Amino acid sequence: EPEVTQTPSHQVTQMGQEVILRCVPISNHLYFYWYRQILGQKVEFLVSFYNNEISEKSEIFDDQFSVERPDGSNFTLKIRSTKLEDSAMYFCASSEGQTNTGELFFGEGSRLTVL
Amino acid sequence: AQSVAQPEDQVNVAEGNPLTVKCTYSVSGNPYLFWYVQYPNRGLQFLLKYITGDNLVKGSYGFEAEFNKSQTSFHLKKPSALVSDSALYFCAVKGGSSYKLIFGSGTRLLVRP
């Protein structure tokens, strides 16, 4: 069964460092998303991406965050200058079409720890 | 603005008993509703969705959910709980033209043997 894969599974970084989280969405999916979850709590939307551009972003997704699809298969989330409060589990997801007709498929997550 | 509420932080049930995990929503327009499950240190797995049609929706692992428009609810149910159902359950809603899903705060289900 096709799945969304994420790397790394866990990354530890120093405050102020740049981090790149990588995702390989399901191959025929068109919509891509990043969510984050702090300490097993609420799952928060960060950004959605379609047709090589951001389609929607939340207030959390400020100038320190960026996304791109560099090679047609990977979908990356970059955090330019990490802060302590960026420590969370980051989930990538993809869907065939808009989420009103289909569910999102999530990866297993990348745990980011900022020291 | 779209929102979803899960009023219970935790639900405890004995194995073999029926379970209900509650969810209420607020959207403009027709709601598109989802349930996801998260096992420890894992991603979110899709359980079921309501888009249109029958108010009772059947999903994975024997779960079902009942859409109630007048009560703006979408409660998750299972006739007979298993210990392996113990996990974190999230209700989610999409409304309008937004691409994203909005998740509730989650309900931890604990099924005791």
Task: Determine which of B12-16, B25-29, B58-62 has the lowest per-residue pLDDT on average.
Answer: B25-29
Q: Which residues of chain A make contact with B9, given a CB cutoff of 8 A?
A: none
Which of B25, B47, B99 is the best residue to mutate to test the A interface, defined by the most A CB atoms within 10 Å of its own CB? B99
Q: Which residue of A has its CA nearest to B37?
A: A106
CA separation for the pair A53, A28 (Å, rounded): 17
Query: What is the residue-averaged pLDDT of chain B?
Result: 92
Say if residue B40 is preceded by a cis peptide, omega within 30 of 0: no
Dump pLDDT digits (tens) for A47-76. Answer: 999 989 999 999 999 999 999 998 878 999
The pair phi, psi for residue B59, each rounded to 5°, is -135, -155
pLDDT beyond 70 at A112: yes
CA separation for the pair B110, A42 (Å, rounded): 18
What pairs with residue A35 in β-bridges?
A: A45, A91
Enumerate chain A positions whose Cβ falls within 8 A of a Cβ in B: 4, 31, 33, 35, 40-45, 48, 50, 55-56, 58, 91, 93, 98-101, 103-109
Query: What is the residue-averaged pLDDT of chain A?
Result: 91
Report the pLDDT value the prediction gives residue A42, as an integer from 0 to 100: 87
Cβ-based burial of B112 (10 A; exposed 0-12, middle 13-18, buried ≥19): exposed
Q: Which residues of chain B make contact with A105, given a CB cutoff of 8 A?
A: 46
> Could you tell me if B59 lies within 8 Å of chain A, comparing CB atoms?
no
Which among B19, B8, B4 has a CA at the least distance from the CA of B86? B19
